[in-house]
Amino acid sequence: MRKLYIFDTTLRDGEQSLGITLNVKEKLVIGRQLVKLGVDIIEAGFPASSPGDFNSVKTIAKEIKGATICGLTRAVEKDIDTCAEALRDAEAPRIHTGIAVSPVHMAKKLKMSPSQVVEAAVAAVKRAKKYVSDVEFYAEDASRSERDFLVEIVSKVIAAGATVVNIPDTVGYSTPWQYEELISYLKNHVSNIDHAVISIHCHNDLGLATANSLAGIRAGASQVEGTINGIGERAGNTSLEEVIMAVYSQKNLYGVDVMINTREIAATSRLVSRITGVAVPSHKAIVGANAFMHASGIHQDGVLKERNTYEIIDPEVVGIPRSRIVLSARSGRHALKHRLEELGYTGVQENLDDIYAKFLELGDLKSEIFDDDLHALMGNATKEVNGISIKQLSVTSSGAAHAAATVTLEIDGQVSSDAACGAGPVDAVFKAVDRIVGKTVKLEDYSLKSVSRGSEAMGDATVKIRYKNSLVVGRGISTDIFEASALAYVNALAKAAHIE
Ligand code: KIV
Ligand code: ZN
């Protein structure tokens, strides 16, 4: 069996296309978790696209070891030079350069003839090769290109030194049989194809990204590209966790082995959702909240008699513990530590006193503490975010049109209060915070959902604000939904404060 290389582009195709600006710290946290998951390649960004992206790629290249760090470029000299500079400290650097190859992209977007495109592609690979030995070439919109032209350009970039050739279904147009046939065609017609790894990169416009990726692997691709939770442009990219578990479940069907620490999948999915603010639908394969729930009586009866009657994957394999212990304020430190470790948290013992104190605070407010509450507690159930803490918050409301809020914040040790009226209590809270912080931002999105069950469940608020052209996400969790909203807003404002 050949090894299937896992290429994660959550930080590039995922982040960039959502229009969300993740800060370097957030990217590092995700990058470190991707290494724990065991991905082979992390595409950290597009360094020439902005100074912020350059800085992120540079920091990730320097700090993260244990995976190849890759940067994207166009087939443009300046992009390649900038990318090489950003990757300078990487343990294993890769430059991912390329150009569009479909008739519509070449004629209308690039305004270049096919021979000019080939020339630019070869020159780009040669330039990248001057800096690094590992060069991946992408043939953008390959699935809508002309076969002979694709064969020509792929052969020429391999001859120029490309070690990986990426054949994207950029607009999610293919069907699995077309994509399988396309990869087979290249295998049979590109004479030097054995000198490079074939990579597949699919988008989900028709809901076929996972199916197309699996078809590509069956046809001989040894690298699959995608994102965690399938986040990405339009309908998203291939969900890596889906491909990984499909291959894991039926290796013989694909002839590849996937060397991934599958037990980190659930934790990685939660982390990416928390940091990007993109919720995972409850019915999402592998990582959705209901993916391993059995509701109907017949199914429950079957699973109790024999798990695999209705369960094709053991949830523990993807990091979801089977036993559903419910803790309460009466639970001791040992039970809490045991459960947190079962949920995949490490280093609990060292911080147990702090965690237990927060747990008891929560236990005073909620009679039962579920796994989701524990994730929230370990994530950000704190009243302090990035140097700003909420000291006091009160809201009065008599109908949506008559709401008022008073907020007291401590910012870097200085306490300030203000009050505002608003079109509803959340609006009033945000306006009071605005008056204290004194920053002009545009609220793009606000959502609130409950963590776990019951009317005493914690509220999980997500806020997206636009500041100087960047979209910034903030998240807050509390048993008081107004406090959760204020925390999320303050969290986003604190992050925005670091944008130049
Ligand atoms: O979808 C695509 O074609 C891409 C390339 C830039 C690799 O993301
Ligand atoms: Zn893409």
Determine if ligand 1 sits within 6 Å of the CB of residue 14.
no
Same-domain check for residues 118 and 249: yes
pLDDT at 500: 55
Buried b (16+ CB within 10 A) or exposed e, 432-464: bbbebbeeebeeeebebeebbeeeebbbbbbbb
Give the pair of three-digit tokens for residue 237.
Answer: 């990219």
**pLDDT surpassing 50 at residue 64:** yes
For residue 122, being part of any structural domain is answered with yes
Collect residues with CB below 5 Å from ion ligand 2.
13
Each residue's pLDDT tens digit, 258-315? 999 999 999 999 999 989 989 899 899 999 988 888 878 788 788 888 888 988 999 9
Lowest mean pLDDT among 152-156, 318-322, 460-464, 482-486: 318-322
The predicted model gives 52-61 an average pLDDT of 96
**pLDDT surpassing 90 at residue 143:** yes
Same-domain check for residues 391 and 365: no
Question: How many Å lie between the centroid of ligand 1 and the Cα of residue 88?
Answer: 23
Determine if ligand 1 sits within 6 Å of the CB of residue 201.
yes
Domain of 416, CATH number, reads 3.30.160.270
- Split at pLDDT 50, 70, 90, the class of 447 is very high
Same-domain check for residues 328 and 397: no
**pLDDT surpassing 70 at residue 121:** yes
Task: Determine the straight-line distance between the first and last CA of the chain, rounded to whole angstroms.
Answer: 49
For residue 290, being part of any structural domain is answered with no
Q: How many residues does the chain have?
A: 500
Each residue's pLDDT tens digit, 209-231? 999 999 999 999 999 999 999 99
Determine if ligand 1 sits within 6 Å of the CB of residue 79.
no
**pLDDT surpassing 60 at residue 465:** yes
CA-closest residue to ligand 1 atom 6: 140
Determine if ligand 1 sits within 6 Å of the CB of residue 13.
yes
For residue 286, being part of any structural domain is answered with no
Pocket test for ligand 1, best of 49, 83, 140, 157 (most atoms within 8 A of CB): 140
Same-domain check for residues 363 and 422: no
- Split at pLDDT 50, 70, 90, the class of 380 is low
pLDDT at 127: 98
Each residue's pLDDT tens digit, 160-185? 999 999 999 999 999 999 999 999 99
For residue 134, being part of any structural domain is answered with yes
Determine if ligand 1 sits within 6 Å of the CB of residue 7.
no
CA-closest residue to ligand 1 atom 7: 138
What amino acid occupies position 322?
R
Buried b (16+ CB within 10 A) or exposed e, 330-351: ebeeeebbebbebbbbeebeee
> For ligand 1, what atom is nearest to the CA of residue 72?
6
**Summary mean pLDDT of the chain:** 92
Same-domain check for residues 111 and 178: yes
Q: Is the alpha carbon torsion for 103, 195, 162, 216 positive or negative?
A: positive
Q: How far apart are CA 282 and CA 222, in angstroms?
A: 31
Pocket test for ligand 1, best of 9, 49, 164, 170 (most atoms within 8 A of CB): 170
Q: Are strands 388-397 and 135-140 parallel, antiparallel or unpaired?
A: unpaired
Same-domain check for residues 258 and 328: no
The predicted model gives 9-30 an average pLDDT of 88
How many domains does the chain contain in total?
3
Determine if ligand 1 sits within 6 Å of the CB of residue 483.
no
| Residue 343 main-chain phi, psi, to 5 deg | -80, 0
Question: How many Å lie between the centroid of ligand 1 and the Cα of residue 273?
Answer: 22
Determine if ligand 1 sits within 6 Å of the CB of residue 172.
no
Same-domain check for residues 130 and 253: yes
Tell me how far apart the 2 most distant CA atoms of the chain are, in Å: 75
Same-domain check for residues 47 and 27: yes
**pLDDT surpassing 70 at residue 499:** no
pLDDT at 400: 61
Domain of 122, CATH number, reads 3.20.20.70
For residue 90, being part of any structural domain is answered with yes
The predicted model gives 423-427 an average pLDDT of 92
For residue 117, being part of any structural domain is answered with yes
Domain boundary among 324, 347, 379: 379
**pLDDT surpassing 80 at residue 193:** yes
pLDDT at 249: 95
Determine if ligand 1 sits within 6 Å of the CB of residue 136.
no
pLDDT at 417: 95
Domain boundary among 346, 379, 412: 379
Same-domain check for residues 388 and 351: no
- Split at pLDDT 50, 70, 90, the class of 386 is low
- 3-class DSSP state for residue 369? strand
Same-domain check for residues 204 and 269: yes
**pLDDT surpassing 50 at residue 381:** no
> For ligand 1, what atom is nearest to the CA of residue 166?
7
For residue 291, being part of any structural domain is answered with no
Determine if ligand 1 sits within 6 Å of the CB of residue 464.
no
> For ligand 1, what atom is nearest to the CA of residue 140?
3
CA-closest residue to ligand 1 atom 1: 170
For residue 120, being part of any structural domain is answered with yes
Domain boundary among 222, 247, 276: 276
**Residue spans of beta strands (DSSP E) within 334-387:** 384-385
Same-domain check for residues 169 and 238: yes
DSSP code for 171: T
- Contact present, 121 and 127 (Cβ < 8 Å): no
Determine if ligand 1 sits within 6 Å of the CB of residue 43.
no
Same-domain check for residues 205 and 248: yes
| Residue 68 main-chain phi, psi, to 5 deg | -70, 135
CA-closest residue to ligand 1 atom 5: 140
Per the structure, the complete domain to which residue 301 belongs is given by: 297-379
